[in-house]
């Protein structure tokens, strides 16, 4: 049986290519200001705390080595993790794709006879669109992370891995809370301002009744320790601790690449992740659990291990390094492309540089948006420099671009015809000389102009996003002949 692809979910079907999405995002000046401020703030905090660690590069190398060891022996570590977790009384489920994972979770929730669940932020459940599946079955899924709550109440989509509502300003958040909180629970106070403390207090009161009422919680996990069967969640608000301890039943949806071999390996990542994500020396709330504990926390513990395209990525010896990712979002905060367009333009729950390589590998490159993602980068290399597990994103982007080009090789497109014409011209020195002569003549006719501006079709799609310089008035050969190689 072949490795499954992650399906392009209904939310993203038919999305236009990245350039079209980016053009719309660039027109949103408020969003650009928000992104500029937020990414530069987090970037500066990260740089400060990383500089404090003299052995940072050694930690990066160790983190990459541990992840590579996991990926090379993933089947063994997953079985070990299942065995240890089962010994401690938890139930492990295996899901081949999003549809199977959603069905498993839905059956577990229905078995508890409830019509609502609380959730702690989970990229895996966003990837499989679990909330939509639960809502379709009449089960309300309440997001409890503050940023995720803003996204959910605002009927929006996340635009950052760590700070999903990074594109929203305080005034917008106040408006969302005032309009939407009362429809699904405790309303926001009438006199609430857009002060951060008051917004956080409104969210806390709104969520508290849901925490106390919920019988089922759904989480993800940052790490899954194979030799102990322990799951680890890092979060900053305490909502995760409430979700993971108060309800009677806990369902954790975990990507199969989240496994670490040993408890000792966790030490490296507890240094790498907080510094790379929030720019903190240590994480505010770290919760670990190894199955149910009598009289303490959820008594029914289920773990859903999900593939959804990951084994397909694993089969690619170069591309598999993408699965090292620990979702810190450091690459987003330094990316000049992400900083300007935000996350929605990437057409995936995984935005930024890591999304540009992870999404096409998980979903394949059959859709317009997935074919365009490898080009959503300037290849400046900043993403690799900050990645705590040394994922060579620029190399992967180039590899994926090659894949997209190869998949379209032989198609009778304008670009392919242009390249064929260029190949014909470059194949003969006399043709090239004639073309250069015509080009320099054009340069002379354009006088002092430095750019051609918008070109007519079919070159319009290329020139609409680029400044095309005017041809030079003289080629190198012409200059050489005229000056005798610079001697004249």
Domain final position from 283, 311, 339: 311
Q: What is the pLDDT of residue 416?
A: 79
Q: Give the sheet arrangement for strand 140-143, strand by strand.
A: 91-95, 300-306, 249-255, 216-219, 116-119, 140-143
Q: Do both 132 and 265 map to the same domain?
A: yes
State whether residue 150 is helix, strand or coil: helix
Q: What is the pTM of this model?
A: 0.86
Instruction: Decide if 438 is inside a domain.
Output: yes
Token reading at 280:
């903190």
Instruction: Decide if 11 is inside a domain.
Output: no
Instruction: Decide if 126 is inside a domain.
Output: yes
Instruction: Decide if 185 is inside a domain.
Output: yes
CATH classification of the domain holding 225: 3.40.50.10420
Q: Do both 303 and 420 map to the same domain?
A: no
Q: How far is CA 132 from the centre of its chain?
A: 19
List the pLDDT tens digit at each of the 488 positions of the chain. 455 556 655 555 556 688 888 888 899 888 899 899 999 999 999 999 999 999 999 999 999 999 999 999 999 999 999 999 999 999 999 999 999 999 999 999 999 999 999 999 799 999 999 999 999 999 999 999 999 999 999 999 999 999 999 989 899 999 999 999 999 999 999 999 999 999 999 999 999 999 999 999 999 999 999 999 999 999 999 999 999 999 999 999 999 999 999 999 999 999 999 999 999 999 999 999 999 999 899 999 999 999 999 999 999 999 999 999 999 999 999 999 999 999 999 999 999 999 999 999 999 998 888 999 999 999 999 999 999 999 999 999 999 999 998 988 877 777 778 888 999 999 999 999 999 999 999 888 888 888 888 888 877 777 777 778 888 999 998 899 899 888 87
Q: Do both 238 and 115 map to the same domain?
A: yes
How do 91-95 and 216-219 pair as beta strands? unpaired
Q: What is the pLDDT of residue 4?
A: 54
> At residue 249, what are phi and psi to the nearest 5 degrees?
-125, 135
Domain count, the chain: 2
Rg, C-alpha atoms of the chain = 26
Instruction: Decide if 82 is inside a domain.
Output: yes
Q: What is the pLDDT of residue 468?
A: 82
Instruction: Decide if 1 is inside a domain.
Output: no
Q: What is the pLDDT of residue 56?
A: 97
Q: Do both 297 and 421 map to the same domain?
A: no
Euclidean distance between CA atoms 168 and 173, whole angstroms: 7
Domain final position from 311, 339, 374: 311
Q: What is the pLDDT of residue 457?
A: 80
HEC assignment per residue over 197-215:
HHHHHHHHHHHHHHHHHCC
Instruction: Decide if 242 is inside a domain.
Output: yes
Say how many C-beta atoms besides its own lie within 10 A of residue 405's C-beta: 14
**Burial group, residue 73, by CB count within 10 angstroms (0-12, 13-18, 19+):** middle
- Inter-residue contact 87 to 319 (CB < 8 Å): no
- Inter-residue contact 308 to 258 (CB < 8 Å): no
> Which positions ≥6 away from 354 have C-beta within 8 Å?
161, 322, 325, 329, 331, 332, 383, 391, 393
The partner residues of 116 in beta bridges, in order of sequence, read: 140
Contacts 24+ apart (CB under 8 A), 73-80: 74/256, 74/257, 74/259, 74/314, 77/226, 77/259, 77/261, 78/226, 78/256, 78/259, 78/305, 80/226, 80/227
Domain final position from 291, 311, 331: 311
Q: Do both 303 and 424 map to the same domain?
A: no
Instruction: Decide if 97 is inside a domain.
Output: yes
Residue 137 belongs to what domain range? Answer: 53-311
State the sign of the Cα–Cα–Cα–Cα dihedral 9, 10, 14, 18.
Answer: negative
């Amino acid at each position: 049986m072949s490795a499954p692809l992650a399906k392009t979910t209904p939310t993203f079907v038919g999305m236009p290519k990245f350039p079209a999405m980016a053009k719309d995002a660039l027109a949103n000046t408020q969003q650009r200001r928000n992104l500029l401020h937020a990414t530069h703030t987090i970037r500066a905090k990260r740089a400060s705390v990383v500089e404090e660690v003299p052995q940072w590069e050694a930690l990066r190398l160790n983190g990459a080595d541990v992840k590579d060891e996991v990926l090379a022996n993933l089947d063994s570590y997953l079985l070990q993790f299942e065995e240890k977790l089962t010994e401690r009384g938890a139930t492990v489920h295996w899901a081949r794709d999003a549809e199977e994972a959603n069905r498993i979770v839905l059956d577990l929730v229905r078995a508890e006879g409830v019509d609502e669940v609380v959730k702690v932020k989970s990229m895996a459940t966003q990837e499989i669109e679990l909330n939509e599946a639960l809502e379709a079955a009449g089960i309300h899924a309440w997001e409890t992370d503050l940023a995720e709550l803003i996204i959910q109440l605002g009927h929006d989509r996340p635009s950052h891995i760590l700070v999903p509502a990074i594109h929203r300003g305080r005034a917008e958040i106040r408006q969302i809370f005032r309009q939407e909180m009362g429809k699904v629970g405790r309303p926001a106070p009438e006199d609430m301002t857009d002060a951060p403390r008051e917004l956080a207090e409104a969210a806390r009161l709104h969520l508290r009744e849901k925490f106390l009422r919920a019988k089922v919680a759904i989480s993800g996990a940052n790490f899954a320790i194979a030799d102990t069967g322990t799951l680890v969640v890092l979060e900053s608000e305490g909502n995760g601790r409430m979700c993971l301890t108060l309800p009677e039943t806990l369902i954790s949806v975990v990507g199969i690449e989240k496994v670490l071999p040993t408890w000792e390996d966790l030490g490296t990542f507890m240094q790498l992740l907080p510094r790379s994500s929030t720019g903190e020396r240590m994480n505010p709330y770290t919760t670990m659990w190894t199955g149910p504990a009598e009289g303490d926390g959820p008594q029914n513990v289920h773990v859903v291990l999900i593939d959804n395209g990951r084994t397909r990525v694993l089969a690619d010896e170069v591309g598999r390094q993408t699965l090292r990712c620990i979702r810190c979002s450091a690459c987003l905060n330094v990316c000049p492309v992400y900083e300007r367009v935000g996350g929605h333009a990437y057409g995936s729950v995984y935005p930024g540089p890591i999304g540009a390589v992870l999404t096409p590998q998980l979903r394949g490159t059959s859709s317009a948006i997935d074919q365009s993602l490898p080009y959503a980068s300037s290849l400046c290399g900043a993403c690799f420099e900050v990645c705590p597990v040394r994922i060579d994103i620029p190399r992967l982007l180039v590899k994926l671009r090659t894949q997209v080009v190869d998949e379209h090789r032989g198609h009778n497109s304008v670009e392919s015809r242009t390249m064929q014409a260029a190949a014909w011209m470059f194949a003969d020195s006399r043709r090239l000389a004639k073309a250069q002569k015509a080009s320099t003549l054009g340069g002379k006719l354009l006088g002092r102009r430095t750019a051609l501006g918008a070109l007519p079709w079919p070159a319009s799609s290329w020139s609409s996003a680029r400044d095309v310089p005017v041809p030079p008035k003289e080629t190198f050969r012409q200059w050489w002949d005229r000056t005798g190689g610079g001697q004249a």
